[in-house]
Amino acid sequence: MFTRLYLKNLKKVKEIIDEADYVLIGAGSGLSAAGGLDYSNKDVFKENYSPFIKKGYKTIWDGLVDNWTVTQENKKSYWAYWANHINNIYYKANYTKPYEDLYELIKDKNYFIVTTNCDGQFYKGNFDEKKIFAPQGSYGYFQCEKPCSEDVYNNEAMIDKMLSSFDEDKLIIGEEDVPICPRCGRLLRPNLRVDDTFVDKPHLANIDDYYEFVESAKNHKIVLLELGVGFNTPGIIRFPFEKMTKYLNETTLVRFNTTEHGVRKGIEDKTILIDHDIKESLEALVKI
Ligand SMILES: [Zn+2]
């Protein structure tokens, strides 16, 4: 059921976007989860990761936590899980509806995107790649486990190879398909910001454009659309967005969040909270 307050708030958000000179989008895992790429959803796991149920995993997260770091000892089982995961979440996953609707909503605006998501959803649609800052990495690349260079490696062919030797009973891949660094012979690992050995250079290309966007938005009407951002890495989107809301004059923060939806003291009158399902809310916004 849509409450009157919710509908009123949606209308207000639409008006603010229409009037804004700048739209800054901050997207977290909640946006992808709303499109079905939900790491905590048991049905998503059952449908796409069924061989791993016998390991006791119930969600995608369970499998990631159990396979956090690749080593010489676990490499065959580690990659069994990760090859399936990367294939499901990155290569096989369709472009999802929340991203499609978000694009419809802002396509004619002067926009910029900062996201902690690594699933490539923003790159599957029509968003301008030059306007995306995604500093946490990408599921589409590997890097050396102990970086011998700042190179990253497109992993599509390696993922295919690993899946072709995936043994569904033993939950391992063939040793010969374990990805190896072409420069130093160490193991490769996903190019994600999991610790301080993350090779981040390829993902920082747009950082200056991001800062410039914020800088030039300063004395204009700016709306911050924060979508599904929690507290895993709040220093990248959530806290800076709250700070901008506080210190920039003509700013509105729209927080789309169904679970972690507190509003920071001091910016209550500049914040609109949409605590309803993100997918439905974006759908409704496009139709207003
Ligand atoms: Zn290496």
Question: Model confidence over 208-251: pLDDT tens digits?
Answer: 999 999 999 999 999 999 999 999 899 999 999 999 999 998 99
118 marked among binding-site residues:
no
Distance CA(254)–CA(224), nearest Å, equals 6
Name residues of the chain where pLDDT drops below 70: 1
Cα 90 → chain centroid: 11
In angstroms, what is the span from residue 152 Cα to ligand 1's centroid?
Answer: 10
Domains and CATH numbers, the chain: 1-37+95-135+204-288 (3.40.50.1220), 43-92+137-203 (3.30.1600.10)
144 marked as part of a ligand binding site: yes
Task: Say whether 181 counts as a known binding-site residue.
Answer: yes
Q: How far is the CA of 149 from the centre of ligand 1 (A)?
A: 7
Q: Considering the entire predicted model, what is its pTM?
A: 0.95
pLDDT number for residue 1:
61
Q: What is the pLDDT of residue 262?
A: 87
Sheet holding 271-274, edge to edge: 132-133, 111-115, 22-27, 222-227, 251-256, 271-274
* Contacting residues for 244 by C-beta, under 8 A, at least 6 apart: 24, 214, 222, 224, 251, 253
Q: How far is the CA of 72 from the centre of ligand 1 (A)?
A: 15
Strands in 188-192's sheet, in edge-to-edge order, are 153-154, 137-144, 188-192
